[in-house]
Structures are given as structure tokens and as C-alpha cells.
Amino acid sequence: MSSLTNPIKNQPNDSVFDLPPLSMEPEGLANDFKRYYAHTFGRDRDCHSAYYPYKALAITLRDRLMERWKVTRQSYDEAGSKRAYYLSLEFLMGRALSNAMLNLEVDGAVEKGLYNLGLELEEIASNEPDPGLGNGGLGRLAACFLDSCASLQLPVRGYGLRYEYGMFRQLVENGEQVEEPDHWLRDGNPWELERPEFTQRIQFGGRTESYTDQKGRTIVQWVDSHDVLAVPYDIPVPGYRNNTVNTLRLWKAAATDDFDLDEFNAGSYPESVAQKNAAEHITMVLYPNDASENGKELRLRQQFFLASASIKDVLRDWIRLHGADFSRFAELNCFQLNDTHPAVSVAELMRQLMDEHGLEWGEAWNITRHTMAYTNHTLLPEALERWPVRLFRQLLPRVLEIIFEINARFLAEVALRWPGDIDRQRRMSLIEEGYDPQVRMAYLAIVGSYSVNGVAALHSELLIEGLFRDFHDLWPAKFNNKTNGVTPRRWLAQCNPGLRTLLDETIGTDWVRDLDQLARLVPHAEDAAFRERWHQIKQDNKAQLAEHVAEICGVNFPLDAIFDVQVKRIHEYKRQLLNVLHVIHLYNRIKRGDTANWAPRCVLIGGKAAPGYVMAKQIIRLVNNVARVVNMDPSTEGLLRVAFVPDYRVSLMEVIAPGTDLSEQISTAGKEASGTGNMKFMMNGAITIGTLDGANIEIRDQVGEENFFLFGLTAAGVESRRHHYDPNGIIAGDPALMDVMNLLESGHFNQFEGGVFDQVILSVRNPHDPWMTAADFRGYIEAQEQAAAAYRDRERWVRMSILNAARSGHFSSDRTIGEYNRDIWRLTPVAPGR
Ligand code: 26Q
């Protein structure tokens, strides 16, 4: 019947897109909300679920994003200018609803519209699940970067994986971490748009075959592979009030419809169908360790799946716009690798250009090494990714051949530069020889990239002096620094509405786009009335945080106390243990009656331990046990409270950062690449107590030494001390530390649980303790005393707090992305037309 009315083909013509712009006013928004709630979801007055109002509001806003999304895509195509792709195994986006409202500038209108329906926006927003598709800093950085790219109108697309299960949910039972799966997609995800039309086919396994064609060229084919489909799901990334909506494209693994015919004919039809299941496992779960987990086949599958699908997608797009001529490809495209996790992209881009698009090695290599850029996020040598050659051979035989060829050509270059220096060739080889040879992913990334960067000044320095020294000798110009940043939209405007209002009234509203404007607060630090308002806002935020802590942990935090907070992944190098030693020291002082001029203190610690990291789990248990002993002791009332907050995640940080006075950044110097929590705290007026590590150094440079509590060895000091480190001597010579160790070793915090803390305690006494906890104890205690003294002088503290926020402009991810763009990507901003 349609052949009569639509004789050409059953596809709508362009008038289907002729739609009037959607209302951004309270009434129009409320009408859409009502329609979705009642008609789309079919709710009536018997529905008491708070989830449906959230869903109805989410799609009301999604419609507004859709309008702008389409225009942005078209504008990028029309501009025809260079694009960048951020490849990452993790995007820790956090909740989308409030961010969409803020960036679309409808937050006020939505609140009003819902109020007229008898609904409270905040309550509705709290029903959104917090997607946890990342472990920590690296994943959250990717999310902040996408926000900044959209806000700066840069044509940048994120590529990642759509994990069915995100970061595990952390429970604490009897003081111990318990992991629960996070099935975040169970109730659907209103923010994603499935794009089956862009599905890609990804190869695994099989073998290679080569033959010589008529022109005498060697053609290699990857055959007998077991293929998996990659189905993209797009998530809109709105810029701040600029009509730009960029894309985060996440791949889901799906089985092909091919059957294993052998199995099928052998009569094992169910087995043959069940095989399909294995394919879908690739994107089932996020690996929950934030240091490399070596040798896990599924992880390598995930990495290649992301690399191959994303590159195919980019090449498909290229051919759509430019045809099969790749001569300008490198000029107009750039891939940023978020650590080595997607580094197999270097070889996979080579493979696709040569085997699928017919380029010669030389052409393909020229393109590859001018489009790939690599960011390193770690200094720990044990965290550098290596994959067994045998695993590569089995899973990605063609990719391994290409890696070998890259290596052979690279080592020839090394030999040319340093003739006869066999040791250097061995050190720099992409293949680590030995009983079980390994592919060194960082070296593959360096050799295949035109830019290699660290994430803070110290980190970038240490990289070229240490881990990557040989490569720096060869190609000094490749190496650069890009100090991390965080988005001021989520981490100030959204999470701290009280402070946002004060800032807007004091310095206008431009700071949200241009965070350096916060420097205009500096003179106001001398205004007593301004300080009073600042203090009041902090107290209100502390009250909100205290409410959460009371509800979640059952611990009461008095508001006159210093809120002293350390939240981050649990790691020995981050030294949550040092924090605990200080807590025990304070407890000891209380028990001794040494409380003259005391500043009441509430210590909050939170973070997840990798499920297989025994020491990290013991540290969590220690925090919980110390908290129980301290909080139960009547003598600590009004002086000291300790709590471990379970399931630390993005949405929790949005409550924690605004309510924090003192930010704990106490890693062993030279080990924390950057840190980004430190920046979120600073923006919200917390003062840092920290070591000269990562971005702490730059934070201190910005805010001035008088507004930062510094302690501890320097990175160089740590390395030179290693040779003559004597923790037992330090303990014997420091009565305070001696008391702390005695309490720990007497079993005071593990009555009836003999021995559970032995490993942790022994690590402090170990002369080979890589983190040198004892070395920094004295300095830390003294810095904490300075912090307490400063806090007792309220006017002084509030001044310091204001100056910290005022000097945080440098740590906006807009500044970071501006530098990536200026030095690496060289993209032209594109404002969406019409
Ligand atoms: C690798 C292989 C197999 C399984 C897991 C992994 C893996 C996953 C996540 C390895 C590392 C990570 C995450 C690392 C990370 O978050 N690093 C942090 O990055 C931040 C952003 O640059 C820095 O601020 C932190 O200092 C750094 O620790």
C-alpha cells in the first residue's frame, strides 16, 4: 500500500526534521514532563515510585539536547576541519541530569515548572543512578575533558566501552569491604541512543595468510577469525550554554549471527548458540583495579575491541566525507590515547590502513605516527602494561606481526643513532625478552605517537629522567607536560550552589567559562563581611555533608570541627595508613589528657580497594576499627570523630568537596602522577595538607606557601633516603610514633581479631617499605598541628580558604584542554550554525 503514497522508497523526506524549537520555559518544560510521565510511561495517581519522575524529566531534557546535537554534528561536517578522538577504557561521567540542566541553562525553569506540579527537583534528581564506568582519576579526567571540549566547541569525540556492570558497589560489613555488582543499566539508560546502523565487525583469533598480487605486493589476510559485533551507543555531551552537544560513543559487544557449523552439524545446536554468549562477555564488566592487571585475556580483548571499533568508525566517517584518499588523513585527525589501555590502536590503525584500505607500509606509518598522541598517568614501574607475546599471537595474530615489524624498523633506527649499543637496543625494544616474552605497551605508544605527555609538571619531569629516558634522548621534542584540570561546571557551579551564588554576586558570572576570573576574589579576602558570608556557606555545606555521614556511617560530625577528608582509591602509595597513624596519635593525646588548645576534628576517609589487593583491604579494615574505638570512647566526645564512608563515587564527591575544610594529599613524593581530587577540594575552598607530589606542587605555587600545609620528603629525597632508610630507628627516636606503634601492636584496634593488622603494621617497620610511611610521620604530625592552629583562628582560616578558591583558576580543565589543543590537537573551534 505504501508503494502508492510513497513510490520512491519508504524513507521520510527532510520535512520529518522540520520541528519548531522546544520550549525552554517552565510551562513548556512541565507540559513535556507531564506528557512523558502520564502518556509515555503510563503513570497514574497510584504510582508512588520516584524513579518515573526522574525518567520523564530526563527525556524532557534529552529532547532539548537532541535538537542541538544534530546541529552540532552537521556543523562539524560542514566545517570539514580537523577532529580529535579521545580513546579511553574509562569514562567516569557521573550523573547527567543536573549537568544537562546547568549547561542548557534551564535549571531555574525546570525547578519552577516542577514546583507548580508539586514536585521537588532535588529529590527527583537523586533518583538518577551514578554510572561508574571508571576506576578513579583517569576515568574522571576523561569525563572532565569531554565537558571542556564541548564547552570550548572543539570537535572532539570520546570513544569507550559500554560496560554492562560498572565499578562494583562497596559495602562495609564488620569493617571489611564487600563488593556487589553494579548493574547500572537494569532500569534502562535514558541518556544513550543506540546506533545499530554504525555497527562494526571485530576480528579475534584465527591466523594470517599472505600472497603476492599481480603488482608484486605482499597482501596479508587475517582469516578464520572469530568475529564479534561492536554496536555503538551515543551519549550527548553538552557544552556550557553554547548550543554545542558533542558525542561520547560507547561500544557494546554483540554476537554475530554466524553459527559454528561444525558444532551445529555435530548436533550440538545448544552449544553452538551458547558460543554467542562468549562474544557478549567482552563488554560485560569494568576491570576494577586501577593499576594494570597483567595477562588477563579478557582485558586485552576489551582493549582491542575498543581500538578496532573506534578506528573503523573513524575511517568509515573519513571515507563518507573524503572518499578513499587518505593523503590528508593525518592533517585532519588525531587520536589521544588515555594511558596505554588503548595503545594497541597504533598497530590496529596500521593494520586497517594496509590490509583493509590498501596503503603501503610507509604511507600507513606516516599517517599513524602523525595522528597518535599518548598520555601517561603513572610513575609506578610495576603499573606499566605488558602483554605476553603468546597471548597476542593467539588473540591478535595479524596485530602481533605488525608490532614485530614496527619494532624491527624502530630498533634499526636506534642502532643507527647509537651504533653498537646493544644494551640500549635491548632496553628500548617493544618486546621484553625472557622466558615469557612481553609486549611493552608504553613503548609501542611512544614509538607510534607524535606527542607523549605526563599529567603534572613533576610527573612529566620524572618520566623523561626515569621510565622514558632513552626515548627522550632519541626524540626530546615528542615529550611535553599537560597538567590536569577538573571542570568548574560540575565541581563548583553544580555541586556548590551556595558558593556559586556568592561568586555570581561578587565577580559576575563569567568565572564559569573563565575560571581565572576567580582571582578577582583576592581583595575580598580582606573584607570581614565577605568572610562571614564565605564562612556561613562552608558551614551550610558541612551541615549537608554531616547529614550524609550520619545517615550512611552513623557517626555524628559536629560542625565546629575541622572536616579533614581523604577520599580516593585505597593504595599504599597514597598513604591512607599515614592518615590513620595521625588519627591514632590524636586519640593517644586525648587519652593522655594532652588537649590544651585543641581543635576539634572530624576525619573522613573513603575509597575502594581493588578486590584482589589484600593490603588495601586491610587498610580499610584498620580505618573502620580505629573509627569504632575512637567514636565509642567517651573521652573523645567533641574532640575527635572518625568515619569511613563506603562506596565513594562521583555523586558522593559532589557532597564531600563543598563540605571539606582540609584536603589530605599525602602520597609518597614522586608516586602520584597528578591527583585531581586535590583540585576539586581547592576550588571549593579547602586547604591542602600535602607532600611535594604531582599537582600539589603547582597548587602550592598558585596559592602561596602560606596557604598550604606542606610536609615530607621531596621526590629526590625519597630516592636518596632509600639506601639508608631505618624506620625502626625513626620509631625509637620519636615518642609519639612509638606510642602509636605500641597501641597498634598491642592489638588495641583488633581485640578478638588477633593478627589481622600484622601485615600493615609490619610495613611501617620494614626498611624496604617503598612508601616510607615512617619517614614522613613527624613532618605530617607537625603540619597537622599547624593546620589545627590555623583553624582555631577563624579569620585566618577563612582568608586562606578564600585564597585557595581564588587561586584555583589554573586547575580548570578548560585550561588543560586549551593546552592540549594548542600543542597537540590544533583544532579550530566550531560554533553550531542555525
Ligand atoms: C590496566 C590494565 C588492566 C586492568 C586495569 C588497568 C588500569 C585501570 C585503571 C590501570 C590504571 C588505571 C587507572 C589509573 C589512574 O586513575 N591513574 C590516575 O590518573 C589521574 C589522572 O591523570 C592522576 O591524577 C592520578 O595521579 C593517577 O593515579
Is residue 554, in this structure, part of any structural domain at all? Answer: yes
**Shared-domain flag, residues 295 and 241:** no
**Shared-domain flag, residues 243 and 322:** no
Task: Write down the pLDDT at residue 830.
Answer: 98
pLDDT in tens, 199-223: 999 999 999 999 998 888 889 999 9
Q: Which atom of ligand 1 is nearest to the CA of 90?
A: 9
**Residue 7 pLDDT > 70:** no
Nearest CA to ligand 1 atom 13: 290
Task: Write down the pLDDT at residue 259.
Answer: 63
**Shared-domain flag, residues 546 and 662:** yes
Average pLDDT over residues 256-270: 71
The residue whose CB lies within 8 Å of the most ligand 1 atoms, and thus the one to mutate among 88, 337, 340, 378, is: 378
> Do residues 40 and 79 make contact, with C-beta atoms less than 8 angstroms apart?
no
pLDDT in tens, 142-166: 999 999 999 999 999 999 999 999 9
Residue 346, classed as helix, strand or coil, is helix
Residues tagged active-site: 377, 568-569, 574, 676, 680
Residues in contact with 89: Cβ distance below 8 Å, sequence separation at least 6, in sequence order: 160, 161, 302, 303, 306, 338, 341, 342
Task: Write down the pLDDT at residue 806.
Answer: 98
Q: Which atom of ligand 1 is nearest to the CA of 459?
A: 26
Interval between CA 50 and ligand 1 midpoint (Å):
35
Interval between CA 372 and ligand 1 midpoint (Å):
20
Q: Which atom of ligand 1 is nearest to the CA of 455?
A: 22
pLDDT in tens, 272-326: 777 777 889 999 999 999 888 878 999 999 999 999 999 999 999 999 999 999 9
Supply the CATH number for residue 239's domain: 3.40.50.2000
Is residue 505, in this structure, part of any structural domain at all? Answer: no
Interval between CA 9 and ligand 1 midpoint (Å):
50
**Residue 552 pLDDT > 90:** yes
pLDDT in tens, 429-467: 999 999 999 999 999 999 999 999 999 999 999 999 999
Model pTM score? 0.97
79 pLDDT band (50/70/90 cuts)?
A: very high
Task: Write down the pLDDT at residue 57.
Answer: 98
270 pLDDT band (50/70/90 cuts)?
A: confident
Is residue 43, in this structure, part of any structural domain at all? Answer: yes
Task: Write down the pLDDT at residue 294.
Answer: 78
Share of residues in the chain with pLDDT > 70 (%): 98
Count of CB atoms situated within 10 Å of the CB of 597: 8
Q: Which atom of ligand 1 is nearest to the CA of 694?
A: 26
**Shared-domain flag, residues 476 and 542:** no
CA atoms within 13 A of residue 736's CA, in its CB half-sphere: 18
**Shared-domain flag, residues 408 and 304:** yes
**Residue 654 pLDDT > 60:** yes
Single-letter amino acid code for the residue at 629: V
**Residue 715 pLDDT > 90:** yes
Last residue of a domain, one of 249, 278, 311: 249
Is residue 244, in this structure, part of any structural domain at all? Answer: yes
Is residue 332, in this structure, part of any structural domain at all? Answer: yes
**Residue 2 pLDDT > 50:** no
414 pLDDT band (50/70/90 cuts)?
A: very high
Average pLDDT over residues 75-82: 96
**Shared-domain flag, residues 606 and 474:** no
Nearest CA to ligand 1 atom 5: 292
Number of domains making up the chain: 3
Is residue 576, in this structure, part of any structural domain at all? Answer: yes
**Shared-domain flag, residues 352 and 425:** yes
Task: Write down the pLDDT at residue 6.
Answer: 54
Residues in contact with 657: Cβ distance below 8 Å, sequence separation at least 6, in sequence order: 491, 495, 496, 677, 680, 681, 683, 684, 686
250 pLDDT band (50/70/90 cuts)?
A: very high
Task: Write down the pLDDT at residue 1.
Answer: 44
The residue whose CB lies within 8 Å of the most ligand 1 atoms, and thus the one to mutate among 290, 303, 696, is: 290
Is residue 499, in this structure, part of any structural domain at all? Answer: no
**Shared-domain flag, residues 431 and 296:** yes
Q: Give the C-alpha separation, 274 to 259, whole Å.
A: 10
Q: Which atom of ligand 1 is nearest to the CA of 140?
A: 21
**Shared-domain flag, residues 447 and 545:** no
Count of CB atoms situated within 10 Å of the CB of 546: 21
**Shared-domain flag, residues 335 and 465:** yes
Task: Write down the pLDDT at residue 316.
Answer: 98
> Do residues 137 and 227 make contact, with C-beta atoms less than 8 angstroms apart?
no
Interval between CA 569 and ligand 1 midpoint (Å):
10
Q: What is the 3-state secondary structure (H, E, C) of 351-418?
A: HHHHHHCCCCHHHHHHHHHHHEEEECCCCCHHHCCEEEHHHHHHHCHHHHHHHHHHHHHHHHHHHHHC
Full residue range of the structural domain in which residue 322 is found:
290-482
Q: Give the C-alpha separation, 69 to 63, whole Å.
A: 10
> Do residues 349 and 368 make contact, with C-beta atoms less than 8 angstroms apart?
yes
Task: Write down the pLDDT at residue 8.
Answer: 62
As a whole number, the mean pLDDT across the chain is: 96
Single-letter amino acid code for the residue at 781: I
Task: Write down the pLDDT at residue 390.
Answer: 97
Average pLDDT over residues 568-576: 98
Interval between CA 88 and ligand 1 midpoint (Å):
11
Nearest CA to ligand 1 atom 24: 675
E strand intervals along 552-680? 562-567, 601-606, 640-645, 662-665
Nearest CA to ligand 1 atom 12: 290
Which residues have C-beta atoms less than 6 Å from ligand 1?
135-138, 141, 287, 289-293, 299, 341, 377-378, 385, 455, 484, 672-676, 694
Average pLDDT over residues 324-347: 98
Task: Write down the pLDDT at residue 271.
Answer: 75
Task: Write down the pLDDT at residue 262.
Answer: 66
Beta bridge partners of 208: 222
Task: Give how far Cα 315 sits from Cα of 310, 322, 675, Å.
Answer: 9, 10, 35
pLDDT in tens, 346-404: 999 999 999 999 999 999 999 999 999 999 999 898 889 999 999 999 999 999 999 99
Is residue 818, in this structure, part of any structural domain at all? Answer: no
Interval between CA 341 and ligand 1 midpoint (Å):
9
Task: Write down the pLDDT at residue 268.
Answer: 76
DSSP 309-336: HHHHHHHHHHHHHHTT--TTHHHHEEEE
**Shared-domain flag, residues 317 and 180:** no
What is the greatest pairwise CA distance in the chain? Answer: 95
**Shared-domain flag, residues 177 and 107:** yes
> Do residues 805 and 682 make contact, with C-beta atoms less than 8 angstroms apart?
yes
Q: What is the Rg, in whole angstroms, of the alpha carbon atoms belonging to the chain?
A: 28
pLDDT in tens, 788-814: 999 999 999 999 999 999 999 999 999
Interval between CA 673 and ligand 1 midpoint (Å):
9
